[in-house]
Amino acid sequence: MRQVAVIGAGMTRFGKHIDRSMKDLAREAIEGALRSAGVDKEAVEAAAVGNAVAGLITGQECIRGQVVLREMGIGGIPVINTENACASASTAFHLAWLYVASGMYDVVLAVGMEKLFHADKKRTFQAIGSGIDVETAEEFARQMSGEQSAGAGESRSVFMDYYANLARQHMARYGTTREQFARIAAKNHTNGSLNPHAQFQTPRTMADVLATPMIADPLTRMMCSPIGDGAAAVLVTSAEKARQLTAKPVFVRASALGSSQRHSEGEAGIVTKVARKAYDMAGIGPQDVQVIEVHDATAPAELLVYEELGLCGVGEGGKLVDDGVTALGGRFPVNPSGGLLAKGHPVGATGVAQIAEIFWQLRGEAGKRQVPGARVGLTENGGGVIDGENAAAAIHIFTV
């Protein structure tokens, strides 16, 4: 397998883009990536395009990547469409990496795109909620929400109930507090205030977060990722070609993708398993990572990922928060972009947006949110839920 590098990244601001089509959003992100890389669209030899719910929101199925790329003059090349819930874009990147690593192509585009806003908000929540086993959907909703079930899947995503349930379990077992979850949300909103691509750009305090309406106990609104539209793109090349095109390539040291499976109680879950695989591929451990983007669909989700990635022991995530370890300036800065909580979560775009952030961080191009001297970065992106864990999980490790 060849060494692979990222040489360009682009993305839209995430947010409510009612008057913009997915073609328009994707065009902005792709043109930004090409401009960043200093190459023309004619150089692209293949593309992998991630999207989760266009079929349910707009009706566009089957050829989502082709209709978007052809509109902007990119055609004739292989275009792979990836749908893997919230991990759709990171799955697209995994395929782009594999195309280049295998030696099949030298320049490949990875794109993530989504439009979630719809006049009928119930339609949006139902589309997001399709990322579970639909044959057991009623049982899933009942187990997750209990007495809070009213509104799940209609006025809020059923995943908020899922994460609220995990949060309550963690609080009961380890003494984790809602204040610790609020600190994560405040951290990410404050980081988002430094990111021009973020959906929310207002600094927040723990008190601000706790004062917002309750969505699913213990989650207040600011502890939950918002609905959003947007797109992100990166350009992937062989390391040899990257060195010809830029003085600042960012190398892909690991690209690991996995899916949930039956396992015994106490056995490591999918995120931990994929993380171990990624660390092995990269030849590093969690202690070597200097900047991290994780799938904070809710504030408790970020805390759980601290433990799954090995940044701390099981049950110790709250202490990391209290000690400022994951804040900008801490030992493991997590979600300097603002994460899903503030940057936003157009689900099919999220994975590549995380990679774009790490690309900018490792090149020293992240502006006011820059992690000084960062040379090793990691992204963690989950998608869907089956039997209490992510249906898909993708972890990527990058270095300069």
Mean pLDDT (whole number) for 299-312:
98
Calculate the CA dihedral of residues 208, 232, 371, 255 and round it to 10 degrees: 120
Q: Is 312 a catalytic residue?
A: no
**Does the pLDDT of residue 256 top 60, yes or no?**
yes
pLDDT per residue as tens digits for the range 226-249: 999 999 999 999 999 999 999 999
**Per-residue pLDDT tens digits for 270-290:** 999 999 999 999 999 999 999
Q: Is residue 33 part of a domain?
A: yes
Least confident of 147-151, 179-183, 252-256: 147-151
Average pLDDT value over all residues in the chain: 95
Q: Give pLDDT, residue 263.
A: 80
pLDDT at 153 exceeding the cut of 60: no
User: Do 262 and 311 belong to one domain?
Assistant: yes
Residue-level pLDDT at 154 = 58
* Residue 143 belongs to some domain of the structure: no
Same domain, 242 and 282: no
- Pairing between β-strand 376-386 and β-strand 230-238 as defined by DSSP bridges: unpaired
The CA-atom distances, in angstroms, between 176 and each of 181, 212, 303, 333, 348 are 8, 20, 10, 20, 31
State the residue range of the domain holding 57. Answer: 4-118+229-251
Same-domain status, 196 and 334: yes
pLDDT tens column, 175-221: 999 999 999 999 999 999 999 999 999 999 999 999 999 999 999 99
In this structure, are 109 and 206 located in the same domain?
no
Please report the pLDDT score of residue 146 as a whole number. Answer: 57
Q: What is the CATH number of the domain that holds 59?
A: 3.40.47.10
Asked if 217 and 271 sit in the same domain, the reply is yes
Question: Mind listing the pLDDT tens digit for each residue in 47-96?
Answer: 999 999 999 999 999 999 999 999 999 999 999 999 999 999 999 999 99
Backbone angles phi, psi at 109, to 5 degrees: -100, 130
Residues 192 and 327 reside in one and the same domain: yes
In this structure, what DSSP letter does residue 114 have? E
pLDDT digit string (tens) for 320-344? 999 999 999 999 999 999 999 999 9
SS (H, E, C) 57-111: HCCCCCCHHHHHHHHCCCCCCCEEEECECECHHHHHHHHHHHHHHCCCCCEEEEE
Report in angstroms the alpha-carbon separations of 295 from 121, 226, 384.
23, 13, 12
270 touches 389 (CB < 8 A):
yes
Instruction: Tell me how many domains the chain contains.
Output: 2
Specify whether 274 is located in the same domain as 341: yes
Rounded distance, CA 245 to CA 93, Å?
Answer: 20
Do 72 and 219 lie in one domain? The reply is: no
Which of 251, 284, 313 finishes a domain? 251
In a domain? residue 132: no
244, 363: one domain: no
Share of the chain above pLDDT 70, in %: 97
Together in a domain, 245 and 277: no
Task: Report the percentage of the chain scoring pLDDT > 90.
Answer: 89
In a domain, residue 123? The reply is: no
Considering 17, 94, 189, 345, which one is annotated as catalytic?
345
**Rounded distance, CA 291 to CA 373, Å?**
10
Candidate list 17, 86, 94, 170, residue with the active-site label: 86
My answer on whether 237 and 323 are in the same domain is: no
Backbone angles phi, psi at 135, to 5 degrees: -70, -20
**pLDDT of 160 over the 70 cut:** yes
Instruction: Indicate the pTM of the whole model.
Output: 0.96
pLDDT at 137 over 80: no
- Check if 345 is active-site: yes
User: In the prediction, which pLDDT does 138 show?
Assistant: 76
